[in-house]
Amino acid sequence: MRWKSDRYSGWGRALVAEGDLARPERISSLKDLPPTPAIGARRSYGDACLNSDGRAIDMTRLDRIISFDPETGRAEVEAGMPIGELARLFAPRGWIPAVMPGTGFATVGGCIAMDVHGKNHHNAGSFGAHVTAIRMIHAGKAKTVTPKNNPGLFRATLGGLGQTGLILSATLQLAPCPGLSMKVRESRAGDLDEHLALLEASQAPYTVGWLDATARGATLGRGIVEEADHSLDPAPKEGRSKSVPVDAPRFTLSKPVVKAFNARYFARIPESGRTRVRSIADFFFPLDRVQDWNKLYGKRGFHQFQCVLPHSETATLRGMVQTIAESGLASPLAVLKRLGPERAGLMSFPMEGVTLAVDFPNRDKATALIRDLGQRTAAAGGRVYLAKDSLADGDMIRAMYPDHAKWVETARKADPDRQLETDLVRRLNLRSA
């Protein structure tokens, strides 16, 4: 396997690694390889997908379907398979990944390593809940791990940041997909209370709130709640995907621009709400239509802060939204979502409550703000999402993840010499109890 010296980063582009990357195209190339961290499409924002001054294996070319049973909706796919490809290929045959993150470019291996959640977490649980088997190289041997034959390793691998071994392929139980489109109901939420009430009351399988993180005063926390279900209506034609060719200048996402954009985005939806039919890709992966949209933040990149707070911590959430709005640093990308209690892995992010995600350009003020938000999350008994993090403190993170010690033990057995560590794992010292 040839190694390429490269500078690479996660989706946020604020943290950069220099190291050697290989990109095998055949599973057999992985034989006799010393333990090496694997990376996917690098859609995690911070440094979870980086290994500075070391090696990493880019799995994106190991992206084949190994088997698919149209009767049961079970599919085994290689780790590099993008989740959006599965939706594109199987939706016409009545099946769709049961949980899909906000980008279709994320790979199945990455979705497992982060135990990602989707717009349906409150009733479908996290990605790992629909994984029935993982084929991985564990402690030097290729093996198939299931919840039955090795529950400890299985749970440590879901959300396990790649620290328990190299994921080769996984078997997924897909969910029935009755049609090729989504019926989406969009409603205005005038303030935070209304926003949370709409999320809480929603009976739809898929629910997500867009948050206007610039709104203050009486409109603090306002936004649009989208509720969706599968539909048999014909899907509208998808527009051509566009791309951002160069790094945008700094004013692109400056305060007045974002404020004006958000006001228009909010006003688009009539006061009485509206219902639209959208394609599956357009509903689940709206941002994927703009390739390399991360360049909009300029060459310094950006951070995303994502936390989950228990339902009882509405006051904390309100305080956070207020601080963010007053800072004038937020971008249009801000999301509120309800999460259910289900978490498939020992290091999985979800907990029952409300999750808040906000993008910030990489500036000193924003990094200070994100650190502050992290501390408030910790104090409120919440949790910060490792797929997005690039700034948190290790002690704080370890305290947020109740099964951390158990996970450390399983990871230690799998990789005693810590050869699978990534920049994120080292920065947060996650492999130490």
Partner 1 sequence: MQETWIILGATSSMARALSRKLAEDGHAVFLAGRDMDDLRRQAADCTARGASLAEAVKFDARAPESFAPILDRLADQEGMLNAAVFVGSMPDQADIDADPALVDGTITDSFTGPARFLQMLAPLMEQRGGGTVVGVGSVAGDRGRLGNYVYGSAKAGFHTYLSGLRNRLTRAGGHVVTVKPGFTDTAMTWGIEGMFLVAPPEKVAADILRAVEKKKNVIYTPFFWRYIMTIIRSIPEPIFKKLSI
Contacting positions for partner 1 (CB under 8 A): 2-5, 22-28, 61, 64-68, 75, 89
CB of 332 to partner 1, least distance (A): 29
CA distances from 49 to 43, 56, 161, 252, 272 (A): 8, 9, 9, 27, 43
CB of 243 to partner 1, least distance (A): 13
Torsion angle, alpha carbons of 62, 342, 209, 386, to 10: -50
CB of 242 to partner 1, least distance (A): 17
CB of 64 to partner 1, least distance (A): 4
Residue closer to partner 1 by CB (options 25, 395) is 25
Residue closer to partner 1 by CB (options 21, 139) is 21
CB of 91 to partner 1, least distance (A): 13
Q: Is 274 helix (H, G, I), strand (E, B) or coil?
A: strand
H-run or E-run covering 4: strand 4-9
**b/e sequence 314-351, b meaning 16+ C-beta within 10 Å:** eebbbebbeebbebebbbbbbbbbbbbebbbbbbbbbb
CB 184 within 8 A of CB 226: yes
CB of 4 to partner 1, least distance (A): 3
129 CB neighbour count, 10 Å cutoff: 19
CA neighbor of 56 nearest in space, from 117, 109, 115: 109
Alpha helical stretches, state H, 83-136: 83-90, 108-113, 121-124
- Residue where the block lists tokens 């093996």: 143
Residue closer to partner 1 by CB (options 61, 299) is 61
Residue closer to partner 1 by CB (options 136, 198) is 136
Phi, psi of 97 (to 5 degrees): -55, 135
CB of 386 to partner 1, least distance (A): 29
CA neighbor of 101 nearest in space, from 423, 401, 398, 385: 385
Residue closer to partner 1 by CB (options 2, 148) is 2
Q: Report the relative pairing of strands 181-189 and 274-279 from DSSP bridges.
A: antiparallel
- Residue where the block lists tokens 């440590």: 156
Residue closer to partner 1 by CB (options 70, 256) is 70
CB of 231 to partner 1, least distance (A): 24
CB of 172 to partner 1, least distance (A): 13
CB of 55 to partner 1, least distance (A): 12
Residue closer to partner 1 by CB (options 29, 146) is 29
Q: Report the relative pairing of strands 302-309 and 383-384 from DSSP bridges.
A: antiparallel
CA distances from 269 to 188, 224, 236, 276, 330 (A): 7, 8, 19, 11, 21
Residue closer to partner 1 by CB (options 67, 375) is 67
Residue closer to partner 1 by CB (options 92, 239) is 92
d(CA 380, CA 217): 23
Q: Report the relative pairing of strands 38-39 and 55-58 from DSSP bridges.
A: parallel
Residue closer to partner 1 by CB (options 90, 283) is 90
